[in-house]
Structure 1
Amino acid sequence: MTAHQSGSVHDGYHLFRHSRPVGDLATVHKLDAARGAAVGVLPYAVPAEQAVLGALMVRNALYDELGGMLRPEHFYVPLHAAAFAALEHLINVRGVEANPISIEGQLRETTFGKQGGLLPHLKSMFENAGFAGDIKSVAEVIQTTYLQRQLMGLGDGVKREAEKAPTFEAVGAIIASVGDELFRLSGTGTANTERTARESLREMLDQAERAMQAGGLTGVSTGFMDVDKLLGGLQRSDFVVLGARPSMGKTSLLLNIAHHAAKRMMDGEQDGAAVGVFSLEMSRVQLMQRMVAGAANLNSQQIMNGQLSNKNFESMTQVMGGMAELPLIIDDAAGLTIQQIHSRARQMKRKHNIGLLIVDYLQLIRSPTLRGEQNRTQEVTEISQGLKQIARELDVPVLVASQLSRNLESRENKRPLLNDLRESGAIEQDADVVAFLYREDFYLARQLGAGTEEVTGNDQERRKVMELKERLEKAKGITELIIAKNRKGPVDTVRLLFRAETTTFQSFAGGAHV
């Protein structure tokens, strides 16, 4: 087994502790001149360091999978520490590809760059990075040896200080210092999330000031006044679920919100946001057709079928010109796992500073760890928790569409309830806001069925059909957005108006959405 292969964490530890480094070990020593101790005195895992660096140079996207668990000081070889720091700078600060040439350029004026042999060593790691395993398990090997070195150094330091400690107070100070250091080491690879009361109050005050300036909005505006009034906008770090049966308009509402938030951002308004969209069902072209149709007040089917008049085509191209600069990023890869969404969302946050993430829809997300119908509830639990984690980690609202159980179709009152969420337990528990779409006209039209233009049957049946038609005419387009759960405020129902020809929603009062 070569240095770039890996198994479990423990297998990886033994493998990378004892396998040979990539390339010429003499080069490693030469480039490691800054280290005083000889290789072998302290625990180390040079092949693991090379495997991780090589894999990251081949696929920069793997950096996001690490989730901040590695820092430059975790690497034993100073060159590798410098290379990792350069890689982070290239990806996070400059936003360019990190490869052997760009890393060598970043380090050219350092001691490593001036010694010679840097680029061949980087290329050797790159070319030998046939790494297809779990990069986190190999990163844990690097973490483990780092912690071992830190503990060994701490032990030696404690021994020296204890021998010189003349008083009880001096020994107590050593013990306190050791406790602080052990606590620091226990947090290796995790973000510092603790805040003082002063810091927390400052954040709260900033939020209150933003709300006053934005007329009560503390989050991202949805574009619907009554919804924003009820929720205060879509709040940072919130996991928001929009549930409905098929054909109720889930995707349309998500796109309306995405367009509005991105346009507000482009116009410089603080309640707008750059928007990332994961579309697991529809292609990005289909999404843009819907969005353009709504913005240009055109029939989306006519756009798709090429049935536009010259005048409408001109209107469409004008709208497209204005939409081209929207801070809207669409990823339409199908069959993504929750881990892949997490990784790609981190990239969106880093590259585009998204302030809102939309996923359409939850039941199409896969979990690589669980399979089979009997594990579906566990799978949805993992996915739901993963979406909440993304919201917390990126500090953005995550708005996710969710299918509802078909059981509600058997009820006379088909307005959704919380227990209609498919595999509802985990979703309901994790979500900060749960909203449902309900359109009575959909069910009335289905009840009428096809071919009702010619009313047949007895007088009672004809009257029933006529009543249904009257109800349908009155209910046409009227949509209930039912806020069934709101962790930070009241629950209520907001009315919207759905325009089927443009697949857009408007405020029920008649105001345009955007």
Structure 2
Amino acid sequence: MSELAPFQPQVPAQQEDATSDPATILPHNIEAEQQLLGAILTSNDVLDRVDDLVSPSHFHDPVHAALFEMAAARIAKGLQTDATTLKSFASDITGLADLGGAEYLVKLQLSAIATSAARDYAQLIHDLALRRELIALGARVSDRARAMRDAVNPDEQIVEAEQELFQLASTGGTSKGFQSFLGALHDAVQMANAAHNRQGKLAGVSTGLVDMDRMLGGLHESDLLILAGRPSMGKTSLATNIAFNVAKSWKEGQKEDGTQGTVDGGVVGFFSLEMSSAQLAQRILSEAAEIPSELIRKGDLTEQEFQKYLRAAGELERCPLYIDDTPALPIGQVAARARRLKRSPRGLDLLIIDYLQLLRGSANNRDNRVNEISEITQGLKAIAKELNIPVIALSQLSRQVENREDKRPQLSDLRESGSIEQDADVVMFVYRGEYYKEREKPGEENLEAMTKWQQDMEALHGKAEVIIGKQRHGPIGTVELSFEGRFTRFGNLAKPWQGDDDRGF
């Protein structure tokens, strides 16, 4: 049969015959398309096994694309679809007459070798379509680079190309589909077994903060956790503390399934969109060396303190903590870079984004902030599920918190979009009463008020609260932590009534 122009609109039509340059012929397999269509016409049930892999746009031959679309529409209505029933409706398809018309439909049906192989043909068609799209994408990138437009610099072209590549990658996966309850049951038992065998009885990655682990059960795979707070509450400090604790505890070994990988702690990826990597590393070093961060910034260190600082830096070199401080990243690039880190030899066990409002959505949503934030949160949840890791995203809160007498944040304070609360598995708020009480200091002349203020400050000093406002798979409530402002460090708050085996619930 003669081969027709490719179906993909982005790819320029090319004459593909025996004299064509092989380098210009786009990847395709006409026989696989014929076999798949023949299998569908022979047994309509085949469509249910392949509809997650192929769509009309995946076919190279436009006649085959039109036939597939027409057959799928009829089968969806419950109508019997074969060469006989289809010929009356397919006669108007452009190019079908050149292939033999109704006789071609009969040949397709009779030539189907085995319907059991339909899935393999569908996978081949799908993969070849992706290859054609990659070729088209490469051509578009090349054309844009050659255009030499003054309004678009090369960096913007790279971002645009990465975004298109991400979109292609995100549509390239196939649907997992239904899983038997037996399979799901096995996964649930494996999770419970891992929790039982792990120190601390956690099902997820330990944050290093005992009371928070007790409330959350650790950081669970595929969960999106939102850590929100007003400025100066310490949400970045808490995020860096968790990142440091997880990376510091990382151990690699043989897992229960026999593969090599993380057996404790985890490899951490940290997107720092607000602070530079050096500033973030300085915070972590301040905590590890127990040297006030303001002394490090000013260089006001004794020789002993500086040596202590260098020793801490040497110990941290082994921590698998990776920082990306590129500002204003699109959500597509965050996903692409996380995938690259996941594919590295060490892998990726926890992703942290500081902070959510500094990410960018696609160009289509930038004029609508609510839609953009919704796209970002959905993208972060998709990263968590695809890479099977917990994702912690920091978020700002609206100013309405400051207008209330009780400054403790709540879910309605999340800024700009209800999708943050909707898409998150866990929503946590950082609150430090000491910060607000400090600003309520009365005048020296009012001795009674001053005495009461000092008592309140003493009760609040060095303490912080993490309010869990939403947890899809667990309780909500408040976790009390210690906070050392000099080292920007959160820690476990000792409680005299808690024994070693107190679970905290």
TM-score by length of structure 1 reads: 0.66
2:190 pairs with one of 203, 206, 230: 206
Task: Report how far residue 270 of structure 1 moved.
Answer: 2.8
Q: Distance in 2 between matches of 1:327 and 1:363?
A: 26
Q: Aligned residue pairs: how many? A: 379
Residue of structure 1 equivalent to 2:422: 429
Residue of structure 1 equivalent to 2:8: 13
2:320 pairs with one of 318, 327, 352: 327
Question: Could you give the per-residue CA deviations for residues 243-265 of structure 1, whole angstroms, max 9, x where no partner exists?
Answer: 10000110111011101111111
Residue of structure 2 equivalent to 1:462: 447
Residue of structure 2 equivalent to 1:191: 174
Q: State whether residues 251 and 264 of structure 2, in contact with CA within 8 Å, keep that contact through their aligned partners in structure 1.
A: no
Residue of structure 2 equivalent to 1:408: 401
Q: Distance in 1 between matches of 2:105 and 2:116?
A: 9
Residue of structure 2 equivalent to 1:122: none
Letter in 1 for 2:352: I
Residue of structure 1 equivalent to 2:375: 382
Question: Could you give the per-residue CA deviations for residues 189-237 of structure 1, whole angstroms, max 9, x where no partner exists?
Answer: 3234233333322222211111111142111110111111111101000
1:76 pairs with one of 23, 28, 35: 28
1:477 pairs with one of 462, 465, 477: 462
Task: Report how far residue 159 of structure 1 moved.
Answer: 3.5
Q: Measured at CA, do residues 163 and 410 of structure 1 come closer, stay the same or move farther in structure 2, by a change above 3 Å?
A: closer
Q: Which 5+ residue runs of structure 1 have no aligned equivalent?
A: 1-10, 32-44, 50-74, 79-139, 166-172
Q: State whether residues 13 and 141 of structure 1, in contact with CA within 8 Å, keep that contact through their aligned partners in structure 2.
A: no
The alignment status of 1:254 with 2:249, answered yes or no, reads no
Residue of structure 2 equivalent to 1:82: none
SS, match of residue 145 in structure 1? coil
Residue of structure 1 equivalent to 2:60: 145
Task: Report how far residue 26 of structure 1 moved.
Answer: 7.5
The alignment status of 1:159 with 2:106, answered yes or no, reads yes
Q: State whether residues 219 and 390 of structure 2, in contact with CA within 8 Å, keep that contact through their aligned partners in structure 1.
A: yes
The alignment status of 1:508 with 2:490, answered yes or no, reads no
1:241 pairs with one of 199, 214, 226: 226
Q: Distance in 1 between matches of 2:64 and 2:418?
A: 45
Residue of structure 2 equivalent to 1:57: none
Q: Measured at CA, do residues 310 and 192 of structure 1 come closer, stay the same or move farther in structure 2, by a change above 3 Å?
A: same
Letter in 2 for 1:197: F
Letter in 1 for 2:425: D
Question: Could you give the per-residue CA deviations for residues 59-107 of structure 1, whole angstroms, max 9, x where no partner exists?
Answer: xxxxxxxxxxxxxxxx3399xxxxxxxxxxxxxxxxxxxxxxxxxxxxx
Q: Distance in 1 between matches of 2:318 and 2:222?
A: 26
SS, match of residue 291 in structure 2? coil
Task: Report how far residue 146 of structure 1 moved.
Answer: 7.8
Q: How does 1:296-445 map to 2 (within 5 A)?
A: 296-351=289-344, 352-370=346-364, 375-445=368-438
Q: Which 5+ residue runs of structure 2 have no aligned equivalent?
A: 1-5, 31-54, 72-82, 84-102, 128-171, 254-261, 497-505
Q: State whether residues 370 and 378 of structure 1, in contact with CA within 8 Å, keep that contact through their aligned partners in structure 2.
A: no
TM-score by length of structure 2 reads: 0.67
Q: State whether residues 58 and 125 of structure 2, in contact with CA within 8 Å, keep that contact through their aligned partners in structure 1.
A: no
Q: Distance in 1 between matches of 2:8 and 2:111?
A: 37
1:488 pairs with one of 450, 473, 488: 473
Task: Report how far residue 342 of structure 1 moved.
Answer: 1.2
Q: State whether residues 266 and 326 of structure 1, in contact with CA within 8 Å, keep that contact through their aligned partners in structure 2.
A: no
Question: Could you give the per-residue CA deviations for residues 371-397 of structure 1, whole angstroms, max 9, x where no partner exists?
Answer: 66x721111111111111111111100
RMSD of the alignment, in Å? 3.6
SS, match of residue 11 in structure 2? helix
1:284 pairs with one of 266, 277, 283: 277
Q: State whether residues 252 and 505 of structure 1, in contact with CA within 8 Å, keep that contact through their aligned partners in structure 2.
A: yes
Q: Distance in 2 between matches of 1:163 and 1:143?
A: 23
Q: Measured at CA, do residues 503 and 12 of structure 1 come closer, stay the same or move farther in structure 2, by a change above 3 Å?
A: farther
Task: Report how far residue 182 of structure 1 moved.
Answer: 9.0
Q: Distance in 2 between matches of 1:433 and 1:187?
A: 37
Q: Distance in 1 between matches of 2:227 and 2:349?
A: 18
Task: Report how far residue 407 of structure 1 moved.
Answer: 0.4
Q: State whether residues 217 and 271 of structure 1, in contact with CA within 8 Å, keep that contact through their aligned partners in structure 2.
A: no
Residue of structure 2 equivalent to 1:69: none
Q: Distance in 1 between matches of 2:7 and 2:317?
A: 47
Q: Distance in 2 between matches of 1:12 and 1:304?
A: 61
SS, match of residue 223 in structure 1? coil
Q: Distance in 1 between matches of 2:431 and 2:205?
A: 23
Q: Distance in 1 between matches of 2:308 and 2:204?
A: 32
Q: State whether residues 418 and 424 of structure 1, in contact with CA within 8 Å, keep that contact through their aligned partners in structure 2.
A: no
Task: Report how far residue 446 of structure 1 moved.
Answer: 1.5
Q: Distance in 2 between matches of 1:348 and 1:471?
A: 47
Q: Distance in 1 between matches of 2:215 and 2:331?
A: 30
Task: Report how far residue 462 of structure 1 moved.
Answer: 3.2
Q: Distance in 1 between matches of 2:428 and 2:364?
A: 28
Q: Distance in 1 between matches of 2:19 and 2:439?
A: 77
More helix by share: 1
Segment of structure 1 superposing worse, 184-193 or 399-408 = 184-193
